[in-house]
Amino acid sequence: MRQNRRRHDAVQHQKDVAHLFKRVKTGHVKATRHFHASDACIGCGICARLCPANAIDMVEGRPAWVKDRCYACLGCLRGCPVEAITYGMHETH
């Protein structure tokens, strides 16, 4: 069951990334619009430190993406130690 969930998450991630690059490339949306930190975020700030564009500010212990600086490298998403950063739709529980 857990392995199926991981496979589904990986497929969804690939779709989200492909959608992101298509939209950014055509200039239809600011890349940061769909970045979110879930409730799993522990406020460690690693995402902000990893960002090569310095496009993440920590606001009240949560990451906030600065649209004018982010170029959607996805370093924050890949570097989050608790996988709290998502791109795409908010998860609801």
CA proximity to 68, closest of 77, 80, 56, 76: 56
Residue 66 lies inside a defined structural domain of this protein: yes
| pTM given for the model | 0.62
What is the predicted pLDDT for the residue at 92? 45
The residue written with tokens 């857990």 in the block is: 2
**Amino acid identity, position 69:** R
Residue 77 lies inside a defined structural domain of this protein: yes
Residue 13 lies inside a defined structural domain of this protein: yes
Q: pLDDT of 34-72, one tens digit each?
A: 788 999 999 999 999 999 999 999 999 999 998 888 888
Structure tokens at 92: 């609801």
Residue 20 lies inside a defined structural domain of this protein: yes
* pLDDT of residue 24 exceeding 60: no
List C-alpha distances in Å: 88 to 3, 55, 62, 91: 21, 18, 18, 9
Domain of residue 61 covers 2-87
- Alpha-carbon Rg for the chain in angstroms: 13
Give the CATH number of the domain where residue 64 resides: 3.30.70.20
In the chain, the number of structural domains is: 1
